[in-house]
Amino acid sequence: QVQLVESGGGSVQAVGAMRLACAASGFHVCSYATGWFRHASWLDRVLVAVVTWNGAYTRYADSVKGRFTIFRDNAKSTVYLQMKSLNTEDTAVYFCAASRAGIGAPRSSYDYWGQGTQVTVSS
């Protein structure tokens, strides 16, 4: 059973920090790029950050550059999203997803998705 499970969400005050984790099972994580998406009520689900299978390359949305860091620990089959300097616009449900196509792949190419974890940033 292929599964991605997010954890680490919750509530935090503005300018605070939070780390999300995405634990994978049922497939070889080294074969997949892993991305973090977020979905706010007033926006479509958008890519926040993505990392290659070996962690060598990353890409970030302009809105989070310099604030968010994506990294992975393949020995633990886990990808993390470290978030700092959070603001209310970061409030969303965050999803991790895996793509065999790599970091340049469109959203439709992501094969597996987690259930999402809520991040709420208060002012």
41-75: per-residue pLDDT in tens? 877 899 999 999 889 999 999 999 999 999 999 89
- The vertex-82 CA angle with 79 and 84, nearest 5°, equals 165
- List Cβ neighbours of 97 (8 Å cut-off, separation of 6 or more): 4, 34, 35, 36, 37, 110, 111, 112, 113, 114
What pLDDT, in 10s, does the model give residues 72-103? Answer: 998 999 999 999 999 999 999 999 999 998 88
* pLDDT over 80 at 29, yes or no: no
For residue 14, what is the DSSP state? T
